Amino acid sequence: MLLGLPFLAAVTLALQGTAPKPPATDPPPSQPPPLTSVAATRAMQPPVIDGRGDDAVWRDAPAITGFREWRPTEGLPPRLPTEAKLAYDAGALYVFVRAFDPHPDSIITVLARRDYFTPSDMIWLFLDSYHDRRTGYEFGVNPSGVKLDAQIYNDG
């Protein structure tokens, strides 16, 4: 589901010991997840974009697993498994995602215009192309085929 994540830095200001302590039920502040390397498989022939995953490149590409939730609770293990595979050729990056769900009729989906954030299930891909955790690109799609893309930047 997710191959890169947006990273947020939290800064806490202490007021000479007078800041109230959070209740014991609050979770500790989360840290960015450790960096993960993912190898993309070279596609000798572009895969057919049909959602089936039976092209030779998808049979050869290693499955990426171990995803974590982003929403509703960031960092938790997902209730259902998701796996992804990456491939590339001279002109494109290909992403295959299989999101398992035993009850596909319960998948939340909303039809909307392109680049409109919908309150629905989505698959997101974040690319940190400069490997600086400040700039990159994000791509998303929901089960209705609503596509989103954006450039991420933090010029500080």
Summarised one tens digit per residue, pLDDT across range 56-85 is: 999 999 999 988 887 778 888 888 899 999
Rounded to two decimals, what is the model's pTM?
Answer: 0.70
Instruction: List the chain domain ranges.
Output: 35-100, 108-156
Q: How far apart are the two ends of the chain, measured CA to CA in Å? A: 28
Within 13 Å and on the Cβ side, how many CA atoms surround 22? 8
Segment 97-123, tens digit of pLDDT: 998 999 988 888 899 999 988 888 888
